[in-house]
Structure 1
Amino acid sequence: MEAAIDRIMQTYDLLLNRTTAASEEARAKVTDYVKTLFEAGEKDTHRLTVCGLTYLRQLDGSTDPVKAGFTGL
């Protein structure tokens, strides 16, 4: 589980330029999320990594085209 969280944060830090406090907050949130998945039975590190990255991107709005600045015009 820790390997997945470390990989998630390394990748996420490459995607966004954030402050240390924001990075620590994201790590805390994704740790809780991955822990929930792990306790529910998901043991595949790669799958946990993808789910964790998806979760963080949903939190910051980067998967929402409108929040990302795409209006369709």
Structure 2
Amino acid sequence: MPTIKIDNVDYDLDSLSDDAKAQLQSIQFVDQELAKLQMQVAAMQTARNAYVNALKAALPVVPGSDTIKLS
């Protein structure tokens, strides 16, 4: 029989109420969506870094300046 541990208490999944099972499914769905969003954030950060580097390469050299700050 499968169990789930919540607040250090093991619960038999088969004995949970339909409402409890629905809440558990909702939590699992949200966890999956959060994981997808975290992967998208990582991809967007990587893309942003690449765009910043490409912008730096495309800008003319300004004497006496060696940094760019983008907000």
User: What TM-score does the superposition give when structure 1 sets the normalisation length?
Assistant: 0.32
The structure showing larger relative contact order (alpha-carbon pairs under 8 Å, at least 6 residues apart) is 1
Higher strand share: 2
Please say which structure displays the higher CA radius of gyration.
2
Higher helix share: 1
